Amino acid sequence: MRFEWDAEIISDDVNERIAWKSTESADVVSAGSVLFRPLGSEQTQIAVHLQYAPPGGLIGRGIASLLAQDPNEQIKEDLARLRTLLEQHAETDRPSTPASPPAGH
């Protein structure tokens, strides 16, 4: 079972926060935001806040959990994949250090 819906961005503060809400025609009413907080020169904490009303209310939420479609678990998995991608990208973006010339040259 998969649900999809359209959302509109309601706030976009570059490198700080992005927030959205579902459009009125959406089957799933939702709103959320992602906050980015620098923790140093090479680290950022990411916090996701999500509110949603699944079709079928509590029964729908229970069915989603049974079918391994729990949004909380999906967000955790998505954040883990995002972390891997960002860390791989950071490794390829680092400038390489030129090798030292041989001694005596």
Q: What is the CATH number of the domain that holds 58?
A: 3.30.530.20
Burial-class residue 52 by CB neighbours within 10 Å (0-12, 13-18, 19+): middle
Q: Which domain holds residue 71?
A: 7-84
1 in a domain, yes or no?
Answer: no
Contact 25, 2 (CB under 8 A): no
99 in a domain, yes or no?
Answer: no
pLDDT (0 to 100) of residue 9: 96
30 in a domain, yes or no?
Answer: yes
pLDDT (0 to 100) of residue 94: 59
Phi and psi torsions of 24, nearest 5°: -65, -25
pLDDT (0 to 100) of residue 78: 86
| Three-class SS state of 67 | coil
**What's at 31, amino acid-wise?**
A
| Model confidence at 99: pLDDT above 80 | no
DSSP 5: -
Tokens of 75: 């967000």
93 in a domain, yes or no?
Answer: no
97 in a domain, yes or no?
Answer: no
Least trusted range by pLDDT, from 34-43, 58-67, 95-104: 95-104
pLDDT tens digits for 11-27? 999 989 999 999 988 87
